[in-house]
Amino acid sequence: MDLTFLAAYKADALGFFLSVSLLVVYHWLLRRKEKRDPAYTVQAVNRIARTAWVENVMREGKDILAVQTLRNSTMAATFLASTAVLMIIGVLTLSGQGDRLEATWHSLNVFGAKHPELWMLKLIFLLLDLFFAFFSFAMSIRVFNHVGYMINVPLSLNHHAISPEHVAIHLNRAGRFYSLGMRAYYFCVPLLFWLFGPHLMLIATLGLIFVLYRLDRTPKLLAEDYAK
């Protein structure tokens, strides 16, 4: 492989590296803020709410409420996992039509390389991201099902592994898998724009970070009330 061919990949490699780095730095800063303020993010508030919900359901014996709520969460995760499978099939179909669509996809590619091998590599990254989303939602369904059994165990049995605290840990783990699946969905946006060029990938990443900050940030009034 000659140096000219390697040099052609520099713009795409740099764009991908900067995009991933920006998202990593964003989540790292978000985690630091969360450590200082336990109610800084919506995810942190949801963990607090799920823990309190499990405590209330198990102490008060609200079995029907538990089943309905977990059923809704399982259905949502199932729908998103099924959507990931459909998107995977779509990307695989797209990969077989690269010869006919290559000129169209590269019409906006000003700075990046236009080699067919690189275009296929971009599709592979998109597939990996969708596979990660699918397995995250599948694991979320798995843990939600486990919680459905544990949360209805009477506290009178005094089983140390099925206390409200332990059940809340499992429920929050399911929520974490669900959140990871959604993050993988969000990252599909920069990866999709990468097909059109690395400069559009960076623009999409910056736009995604702006939207994520608006979604992740706890409403100010709620955060202030929690701090009090």
pLDDT in tens, 15-24: 889 999 999 9
Q: What percent of the chain has pLDDT over 70?
A: 83
pLDDT of residue 93: 84
**pLDDT, tens digit, 9 for 90 and up, residues 29-74:** 999 988 888 888 888 889 999 999 988 888 877 778 888 888 999 9
Give me the percent of the chain exceeding a pLDDT of 90. 40
In a domain, 3, yes or no: no
Higher pLDDT, 62 or 222: 62
Judge whether residue 139 has pLDDT over 60.
Answer: yes
Domain count, the chain: 1
Q: Of the ranges 74-83, 111-120, 130-139, 214-223, which one carries the lowest mean pLDDT score?
A: 111-120
Neighbours of 82 (CB within 10 A): 12
* Residue range 183-195, pLDDT digits in tens: 999 999 999 888 8
Range of the domain at 50: 9-221
Decide if 227 is inside a domain: no
In-domain check, residue 228: no
Residue 109 to residue 194: CA distance in whole angstroms = 9
Buried b (16+ CB within 10 A) or exposed e, 167-204: bbebbbbbbbbbbbbebbbbbbebbbbbbbbbbbbbeb
Residue 170 domain flag:
yes
- Taking every pair of Cα atoms in the chain, the longest distance, rounded to a whole number of angstroms, is 72
Confidence grade of residue 1 (pLDDT, cut at 50, 70, 90): very low
Does the residue 177 lie in any domain? yes
Is residue 140 situated within a structural domain? yes
pLDDT tier at 181, thresholds 50, 70, 90:
very high
The pLDDT of residue 3: 44
What confidence tens digit (pLDDT) does each residue in 69-120 have? 889 999 999 999 999 999 999 888 877 765 555 555 555 555 544 566 777 8
Whole-angstrom Cα distance, residue 143 to residue 36?
A: 29
pLDDT tier at 14 (50, 70, 90 boundaries)?
A: confident
The answer to whether position 210 is within a domain reads yes
pTM (predicted TM-score): 0.84
Asked if the structure places residue 226 within a domain, the reply is no
